[in-house]
């Protein structure tokens, strides 16, 4: 180890422009929320400071500097006038924040610097070299990958990967691993391949791959051109010769100047630390409450630093005040851990008339006045996670009603990324200093209720306080987004429907599952034996790693696809190897049965409660599209496609004798939604006339005159294309799915768009909408923000575009069934039926009902479902019933 006599001097260099840029777009979706008193946007400033806090803590620099670009023209534009040409202008909302960012840095004791005719990169390059000469450790923070060329043993370059706080650290080893070349070869690589975003060319047809290959062979661009005469004749050689001048110019442009004429000296860069007084005033001016709070409690967010709040014990005396209060009150019912259907309540808190009450004695729930107050619909209440609160109280014999504000639900509707089902996280997103569950109770094995009861009760009181103080702001945002009816009329009423379903539970016969488990076990052991025989040895078939060795090394089957860690043994790969060896089919069989056995036959038994029922949890605030998800267990993926798996459904039965299972599903709801929102005439006609949609599509894209001429294979391909359209199609994806070439797939798509021009227009328009607004929305104004729609990275951006196309379709379908569920529950009550809604699987509802009610359900369920919303095309519902879920289809 080298001795460092300068005592760990540490230089921090930040690329001010690129980090500000990232900061701005990372918080672009809250642009309008972050405005200072005098009307200046502050989102980038806020995110920048966030990053700064984290970086300063991690890096503990002794010296620091933030470099900025000085202007549009530099020595590079003089060399090549097109340099960075065609770049989008910096948004004015960001531009106005740059002086604020510099002011902030000044108050935080960090020097800023810019130099005429040079870019921030050159300042950083020059100083990092100087720091290294002084034997300092240097860290560079930037949003720009180009700076990785500065990486050395002493210089680490951290590039923002997601937002501004997550970075990827480049050391020389990491560069080598990632790019396959050394840091000092990066400029040669850029010279050869050019740079689209900086707008300079390299050598024609040379991309990253080719450049790296050449550099591995010839070391540098000079090496390539020294040996060019010896290269054998090829297009590549021709391009290299033709574009030689261009390549050397590009390399020059890509090279960061490490010898810029800067006027600052290392001594000027000493990190000063915060100017407390002025910084506080600055934060106040910017309304940065969270940063202000952090200053008061110092930097440590330990539980002991929890701001104290005054509360009294929630006892009989307090209840007198609470039940007589006519104003809005906030209720906290706390439980720790995973599944709220089984975990105990560990504490309660109520905010009432600006006072806080809390207790860890659940005996209070036996007080009749309290019970009545909780169940009283006319007593308005606020909570966090209404569904959980209902379920917890239910086990203690209490009902709760009158809830008008569920902070979790509102946070989710405002931004699907925001809700992490943790009040601390939501609070922190809104600038409040409340610990998360993990922060307060500890993580993993260390998780525990604090021994100091006062601490716990204080935390609960604080939760109530956060809910009270954020209510107005969040509800106002909801209204601004035009999402108030989505909340009032759909999500909040749905919470009650879902809690009914969860608490009702579905009856599952353990004996039936046990029986299947035994028969699967027998079959598995048979197949196992014959696989071992074919392989010539015993191994763990469930291990993709071991299986890979057997298939591709021992049996020498051709490798079709690789994963990050080894050979892929996924179904699509094995399907292609089926005729090469009989063992492949046996492995497929083994996999299938093993999956059904472990996940369902064995797995589901563990969830059957003493009441012979399974009580799943529907996550209402999780998916990015507005669908529900089901956990512990997941009852939305019970097998159906293959009969062996489908047998599992025979264990799902009604809870009473002489009852039946009844299921009803929407037919092609997503395509109908697409027909509606795209307004495409041909697709709308197909649904209005109730044609077989896939046959109709086949007829159109294959240019036939009648659906009678459509072959089953044509229909299959058209069906896949319809699915692809809904997912945000790509020719590659479609080609993989139906086993045709990419070219053929591209043809399909082209003719699809010719036949359904409205669909094409929708796809173009929705992506444009996402680019302009930063989000997309459903028919009920459910929102999904798509920050990656502006990503520089091709794959990320494309993904965001497909998401923009798919989300309004999938999400609107989710809206529709949610409305139907609410109406259905109402109808069952109105009609005084005993039938119970038990499950929802995205486009279907599953009920149990007395046999005598089945006929009624057959009329009312489809009618409630297809009238849930009014679209430009009809909705279609199919239903079935039988003794078990298996038969109800």
Q: Which of 342, 637, 852, 867 binds DNA (CB under 7 A)?
A: 637
Going by C-alpha positions, the residue among 453, 444, 424 that lies closest to residue 337 is: 444
Q: Which of 631, 704, 779, 791 binds DNA (CB under 7 A)?
A: 631
C-beta of residue 616 within 8 angstroms of C-beta of residue 627: no
In the bound state with DNA, the residue whose beta carbon lies nearer, of 687 and 727, is 727
Q: Closest approach of Cβ 877 to DNA, in Å?
A: 13
How many residues in total does the chain contain? 889
Q: Closest approach of Cβ 272 to DNA, in Å?
A: 37
Q: Is 187 helix (H, G, I), strand (E, B) or coil?
A: helix
Region from 220-228, 433-441, 566-574, 880-888 binding DNA, contact rule CB under 7 A: 566-574
Q: Which of 110, 254, 506, 729 binds DNA (CB under 7 A)?
A: 729
Region from 142-150, 354-362, 591-599, 822-830 binding DNA, contact rule CB under 7 A: 591-599
Q: Which of 156, 329, 335, 625 binds DNA (CB under 7 A)?
A: 625
Sequence-distant (≥ 6) Cβ neighbours of residue 597 within 8 angstroms:
516, 517, 520, 521, 524
Region from 304-312, 319-327, 498-506, 619-627 binding DNA, contact rule CB under 7 A: 619-627
Q: Which residues, 687 to 726, sit near DNA by CB under 7 A? A: 720-721, 723-724
Going by C-alpha positions, the residue among 362, 369, 374 that lies closest to residue 460 is: 362
Is 356 near DNA (CB under 7 A)?
no
Strand order in the sheet with 613-614: 613-614, 506-508, 652-653
In the bound state with DNA, the residue whose beta carbon lies nearer, of 641 and 829, is 641
Q: Closest approach of Cβ 543 to DNA, in Å?
A: 3
Region from 257-265, 277-285, 323-331, 638-646 binding DNA, contact rule CB under 7 A: 638-646
Q: Which of 252, 842, 876, 883 binds DNA (CB under 7 A)?
A: 842
Q: Closest approach of Cβ 156 to DNA, in Å?
A: 22
Strands 155-162, 137-142: parallel, antiparallel or unpaired by DSSP? parallel
Is 201 near DNA (CB under 7 A)?
no
Dihedral angle sign, alpha carbons of residues 828, 829, 832, 833: positive
Tell me the C-alpha distance between 261 and 266, whole Å. 14
Region from 44-52, 159-167, 598-606, 775-783 binding DNA, contact rule CB under 7 A: 598-606
Q: Which residues, 665 to 694, sit near DNA by CB under 7 A? A: 665
Q: Which residues, 123 to 182, sit near DNA by CB under 7 A? A: none
Is 595 near DNA (CB under 7 A)?
yes
Q: Which of 36, 62, 258, 730 binds DNA (CB under 7 A)?
A: 730
Q: What is the 3-state secondary structure (H, E, C) of 654-666?
A: CCCCCEEEEEEEE
Q: Closest approach of Cβ 31 to DNA, in Å?
A: 23
Q: Which residues, 511 to 540, sit near DNA by CB under 7 A? A: 540
Q: Which of 727, 753, 762, 886 binds DNA (CB under 7 A)?
A: 727
Burial of 522 (0-12, 13-18, 19+ CB in 10 A): exposed
Q: Closest approach of Cβ 370 to DNA, in Å?
A: 34
Q: Which of 129, 158, 387, 591 binds DNA (CB under 7 A)?
A: 591
Is 633 near DNA (CB under 7 A)?
yes
Sequence-distant (≥ 6) Cβ neighbours of residue 822 within 8 angstroms:
490, 493, 494, 497
| Residue 233, both tokens | 């004749």
Region from 149-157, 285-293, 480-488, 629-637 binding DNA, contact rule CB under 7 A: 629-637
End-to-end CA distance of the chain: 71
Q: Closest approach of Cβ 667 to DNA, in Å?
A: 10
Q: How far is CA 510 from CA 464, 634, 763, in A?
A: 42, 17, 48
Tell me the C-alpha distance between 142 and 67, whole Å. 10
Is 798 near DNA (CB under 7 A)?
yes
Is 377 near DNA (CB under 7 A)?
no
Is 542 near DNA (CB under 7 A)?
yes
Q: Which of 803, 812, 836, 879 binds DNA (CB under 7 A)?
A: 803
Tell me the C-alpha distance between 312 and 303, whole Å. 20
| Residue 646, both tokens | 């489908």
Any idea what DSSP says for residue 308? P
Is 592 near DNA (CB under 7 A)?
yes
Q: Closest approach of Cβ 209 to DNA, in Å?
A: 5
Q: Which of 40, 336, 362, 622 binds DNA (CB under 7 A)?
A: 622
| Residue 715, both tokens | 């229909």
Q: Closest approach of Cβ 207 to DNA, in Å?
A: 3
Q: Closest approach of Cβ 813 to DNA, in Å?
A: 8
C-beta of residue 560 within 8 angstroms of C-beta of residue 573: yes
Site string for DNA, 776-795 (x = CB under 7 A): ------------------xx
In terms of C-beta distances under 8 Å and separation of at least 24 residues, what long-range contacts does 216-219 make, across chains too?
216/180, 216/181, 219/185
Q: Closest approach of Cβ 723 to DNA, in Å?
A: 5
Q: Closest approach of Cβ 208 to DNA, in Å?
A: 7
Q: Which residues, 443 to 472, sit near DNA by CB under 7 A? A: 444
Tell me the C-alpha distance between 211 and 234, whole Å. 15
Is 841 near DNA (CB under 7 A)?
yes
Report the Cα 144 to chain-centroid distance in Å: 24
| Residue 380, both tokens | 């308005």
Q: Closest approach of Cβ 803 to DNA, in Å?
A: 4
C-beta of residue 655 within 8 angstroms of C-beta of residue 507: yes
Tell me the C-alpha distance between 499 and 821, whole Å. 12
Is 743 near DNA (CB under 7 A)?
no
Is 343 near DNA (CB under 7 A)?
no
Q: Closest approach of Cβ 770 to DNA, in Å?
A: 12
Q: Closest approach of Cβ 611 to DNA, in Å?
A: 19
Q: Closest approach of Cβ 340 to DNA, in Å?
A: 14
Q: Which residues, 216 to 245, sit near DNA by CB under 7 A? A: none
Is 598 near DNA (CB under 7 A)?
yes
Q: Which residues, 298 to 327, sit near DNA by CB under 7 A? A: none
Q: Closest approach of Cβ 722 to DNA, in Å?
A: 8
In the bound state with DNA, the residue whose beta carbon lies nearer, of 67 and 551, is 551
143: phi then psi, degrees, rounded to nearest 5 = -100, 0
Q: How many residues bind DNA (CB under 7 A)?
A: 81
Strands 381-383, 613-614: parallel, antiparallel or unpaired by DSSP? unpaired
Q: How far is CA 369 from CA 196, 364, 397, in A?
A: 71, 10, 13
Q: Which of 843, 848, 853, 866 binds DNA (CB under 7 A)?
A: 843
In the bound state with DNA, the residue whose beta carbon lies nearer, of 25 and 748, is 748
Is 545 near DNA (CB under 7 A)?
yes
C-beta of residue 6 within 8 angstroms of C-beta of residue 61: no
C-beta of residue 347 within 8 angstroms of C-beta of residue 437: no
In the bound state with DNA, the residue whose beta carbon lies nearer, of 595 and 688, is 595
Give the helix/strand (H/E) hosting 140. strand 137-142
Angle 508-514-516 from CA coordinates, rounded to 5°: 100
Is 642 near DNA (CB under 7 A)?
yes
Q: Closest approach of Cβ 311 to DNA, in Å?
A: 33
Region from 33-41, 212-220, 509-517, 589-597 binding DNA, contact rule CB under 7 A: 589-597
Q: What stretches of 81-143 adopt beta strand conformation (E)?
A: 111-114, 137-142
Encode burial over 90-113: b for 16+ CB neighbours within 10 A, e otherwise.
ebebbeebbebbbebbbbbebbbb
Is 578 near DNA (CB under 7 A)?
no
Burial of 40 (0-12, 13-18, 19+ CB in 10 A): middle
């Amino acid at each position: 180890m080298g001795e460092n006599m300068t005592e760990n001097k540490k230089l921090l260099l930040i690329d001010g422009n690129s980090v500000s840029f990232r900061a701005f777009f990372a918080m672009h979706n809250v642009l309008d929320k972050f405005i200072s008193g005098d009307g200046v946007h502050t989102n980038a400033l806020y995110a920048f400071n966030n990053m700064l806090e984290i970086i300063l803590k991690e890096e503990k620099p002794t010296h620091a500097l933030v470099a900025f670009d000085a202007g549009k023209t530099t020595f590079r534009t003089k060399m090549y006038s097109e340099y960075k040409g065609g770049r989008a202008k910096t948004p004015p909302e960001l531009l106005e924040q740059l002086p604020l960012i510099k002011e902030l840095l000044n108050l935080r004791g960090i020097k800023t610097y810019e130099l005429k005719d040079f870019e921030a990169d050159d300042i950083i390059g020059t100083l990092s070299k100087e720091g290294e000469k002084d034997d300092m450790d240097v860290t560079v923070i930037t949003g720009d990958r180009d700076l990785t060329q500065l990486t050395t043993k002493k210089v680490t370059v951290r590039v923002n990967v997601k937002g501004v706080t997550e970075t990827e650290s480049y050391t020389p080893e990491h560069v080598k691993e990632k790019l396959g070349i050394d840091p000092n070869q990066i400029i040669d690589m850029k010279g050869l391949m050019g740079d689209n975003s900086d707008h300079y060319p390299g050598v024609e047809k040379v991309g990253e791959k080719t450049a790296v290959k050449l550099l591995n062979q010839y070391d540098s661009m000079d090496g390539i051109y020294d040996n060019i005469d010896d290269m054998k004749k090829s297009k590549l050689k021709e391009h290299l010769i033709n574009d030689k001048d261009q390549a050397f110019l590009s390399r020059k442009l890509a090279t960061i100047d490490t010898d810029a004429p800067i006027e600052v000296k290392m001594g000027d860069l000493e990190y000063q630390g915060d100017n407390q007084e002025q910084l506080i005033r600055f934060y106040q001016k910017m309304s940065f409450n969270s940063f202000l709070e952090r200053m008061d409690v110092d930097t440590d967010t330990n539980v002991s630093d929890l701001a104290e709040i005054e509360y009294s014990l929630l006892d009989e005396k307090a209840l007198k005040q609470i039940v007589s209060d006519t104003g809005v009150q906030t209720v906290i019912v706390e439980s720790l851990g995973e599944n709220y259907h089984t975990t105990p309540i560990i504490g309660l808190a109520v905010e009432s008339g600006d006072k806080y009450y809390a207790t860890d004695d659940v005996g209070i729930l036996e007080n009749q006045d309290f019970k009545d107050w909780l169940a009283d619909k006319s007593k308005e209440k606020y909570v966090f996670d209404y569904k959980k609160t209902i379920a917890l109280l239910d086990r203690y014999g209490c009902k709760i009603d009158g809830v008008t504000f569920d902070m979790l639900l509102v946070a989710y509707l405002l931004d699907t990324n925001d809700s992490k089902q943790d009040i601390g996280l939501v609070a922190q997103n809104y600038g409040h200093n409340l610990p998360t569950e993990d922060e307060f109770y500890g993580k993993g094995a260390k998780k525990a209720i604090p021994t100091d009861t006062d601490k716990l009760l204080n935390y609960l009181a604080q939760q109530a306080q956060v809910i009270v103080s954020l209510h107005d702001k969040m509800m106002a945002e909801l209204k601004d987004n035009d999402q108030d009816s989505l909340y009032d009329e759909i999500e909040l009423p749905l919470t009650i429907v879902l809690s009914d379903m969860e608490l009702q539970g579905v009856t599952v016969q353990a004996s039936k599952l046990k029986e299947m488990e035994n028969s699967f076990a027998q079959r598995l052991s048979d197949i196992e034996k014959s696989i071992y025989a074919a392989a010539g040895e015993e191994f763990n078939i469930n291990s993709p790693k071991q299986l890979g060795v057997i298939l591709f090394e021992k049996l020498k089957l051709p490798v079709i696809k690789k994963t990050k860690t080894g050979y892929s043994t996924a179904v699509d790969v094995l399907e292609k190897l089926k005729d090469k060896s009989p063992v492949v089919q046996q492995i497929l069989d083994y996999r299938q049965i093993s999956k059904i056995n472990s996940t369902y036959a064995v797995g589901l038994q563990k969830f059957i409660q003493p009441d012979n029922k399974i009580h799943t949890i529907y996550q209402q605030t999780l998916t990015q599209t507005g669908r529900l998800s089901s956990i512990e267990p997941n009852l939305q993926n019970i097998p159906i496609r293959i009969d062996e798996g489908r047998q599992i459904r025979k264990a799902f039965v009604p809870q009473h004798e002489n009852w039946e299972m009844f299921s009803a599903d929407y037919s092609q709801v997503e395509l109908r939604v697409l027909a509606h929102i795209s307004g495409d005439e041909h697709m709308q006609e197909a649904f209005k006339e109730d044609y077989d949609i896939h046959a109709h599509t086949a007829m159109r894209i294959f240019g036939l005159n009648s659906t009678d001429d459509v072959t089953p294979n044509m229909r299959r391909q058209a069906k896949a294309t319809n699915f692809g359209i809904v997912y945000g199609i790509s020719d590659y994806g479609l080609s993989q799915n139906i086993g045709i070439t990419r070219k053929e797939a591209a043809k399909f798509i082209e003719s699809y768009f010719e036949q359904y021009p409205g669909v094409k227009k929708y796809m173009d328009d929705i992506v444009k909408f996402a680019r302009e607004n930063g989000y997309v929305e459903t028919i009920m104004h459910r929102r999904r923000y798509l920050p990656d729609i502006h990503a520089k990275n091709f794959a990320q951006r494309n993904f965001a575009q497909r998401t923009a196309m798919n989300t309004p379709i999938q999400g609107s379908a989710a809206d529709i069934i949610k409305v139907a569920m609410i109406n259905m529950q109402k109808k069952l009550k109105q009609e005084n039926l005993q039938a119970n809604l038990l499950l929802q699987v995205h486009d279907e509802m599953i009920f149990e009902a007395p046999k005598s009610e089945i006929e009624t359900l057959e009329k009312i369920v489809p009618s409630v479902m297809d009238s849930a919303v009014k679209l430009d095309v009809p909705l279609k519902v199919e239903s079935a019933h039988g003794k078990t879920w298996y038969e109800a289809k």
